[in-house]
Amino acid sequence: MKRIAVVIGASGGIGGACVEHCCADANYVSVIAVSRSNAALSFSENSKLTILEADSSKPSMANVVTEVLMQAKRVASLDVDIIIATGLLHTETGSIKVQPEKRIEALDMQSALTVLETNTLMPMLWLQAFSPLFALKLDTRVLVLSARVGSIGDNRLGGWYSYRSSKAALNMMLKTASTEYARRYPNVKLIAYHPGTTDTGLSKPFQANVPEGKLFSQDYSAERLIDVMQSQAIDKTLSFVDWQGKSIEW
């Protein structure tokens, strides 16, 4: 089956690696890489790659969807794979400093709202924007980067109040969307995905605590992500899975 890939967050470590993998995969006839700024992108030249800039505004997102629609309508018998690979754990740039909280005393409203906006609301606004694509009734898989630390049942260590909560809230919103889509867009499969700890800027300050063999390269993470995504049946439900394809408790 021919496929189109759309990667939101293409300037990130996992997102960028996914773009490269999809470009190298003969099953993908088109790859659309989306980033806030194209200046940071340096992909191998490929005729099927389209690079777009988009911020959080509705007109900007609509421009991306228009391009995807145009390309999707040109190819018959097509599957669409959308990867939303955005996320925030820490940042020292800008006026708001974000660090994962070790104690409740570290909880700060503006920092927490920044994390929630990036990790929870932005992926859902992208889902909202893609409604015209979903209405085409093409088989579509949407994989969103979640995290195992967003599991309420698996939270045995505590800490990381904002990040954990943002991913748990993301999972709930995706579950709510999947219930709606079962009626409106039964052709759409939603996947909340835990990639494992990947060697990116997001995990860099915490890599010393990662067990040997559990820090994945960006290339390996992208390979596993795409394999797991393509293996998911379009079954009107939300899956919360890790890089091995194993289900994670909510």
Q: Is residue 197 part of a domain?
A: yes
| Sign of the four-CA dihedral 184, 82, 164, 115 | negative
Query: 76, 36, 79, 30: which is closest to 50 by C-alpha?
Result: 30
Residue 207 in this model has a pLDDT that exceeds 60: no
Taking the model in full, what pTM does it have? 0.93
- The packing angle between helices 13-24 and 218-231, to 10°, is 60
* Assigned domain for 75 exists: yes
Place of tokens 């099927």: 48
Find the length of the chain: 250
Residues 98-156: tens digit of each pLDDT: 899 999 999 999 999 999 999 999 999 999 999 999 999 999 999 999 999 999 999 99
Residue 79 reports pLDDT greater than 90: yes
Q: Is residue 248 part of a domain?
A: no
Q: For residue 233, give its domain range.
A: 2-242
Residue 145 forms part of a structural domain? yes
Sign (positive/negative) of CA torsion 130, 133, 135, 138? Answer: negative
* Residue given tokens 């909510």 in the structure block: 250
Instruction: Tell me the CATH number at 77.
Output: 3.40.50.720
Is residue 249 included in any domain, yes or no? Answer: no
Report how far apart, in Å, the C-alpha atoms of 54 and of each of 62, 73, 83, 126, 158 are: 9, 22, 15, 11, 35
In tens, the pLDDT along 37-54 reads 776 677 878 889 999 999
- Which residue has tokens 């596993």? 224
Torsion of CA 116, 120, 122, 125, to 10 degrees: -130
Question: Is 6 contained in some domain?
Answer: yes
Is residue 247 a part of any domain in this protein? no
Question: Average pLDDT in the 195-206 region?
Answer: 73
Predicted confidence at residue 73, as pLDDT, reads 86
pLDDT of res. 144? 99
Q: How many domains does the chain have?
A: 1
In a domain, 250, yes or no: no
Question: Percent of the chain at pLDDT above 90?
Answer: 76
Cβ-contact 133, 75 below 8 angstroms: no
Alpha-carbon distance 240 to 245, whole Å?
9
Q: Which pLDDT belongs to residue 4?
A: 96
SS (H, E, C) the chain: CEEEEEEECCCCHHHHHHHHHHHHCCCEEEEEEEECCHHHCCCCCCCCEEEEECCCCHHHHHHHHHHHHHHHHHCCCEEEEEEECCCCCCECCCCCCECCCCCHHHCCHHHHHHHHHHHHHHHHHHHHHCHHHHCCCCCEEEEEECCHHHCCCCCCCCCCHHHHHHHHHHHHHHHHHHHHHHHHCCCEEEEEEECCEECCCCCHHHHHHCCCCCEECHHHHHHHHHHHHHHCCCCCCEEEEECCCCECCC
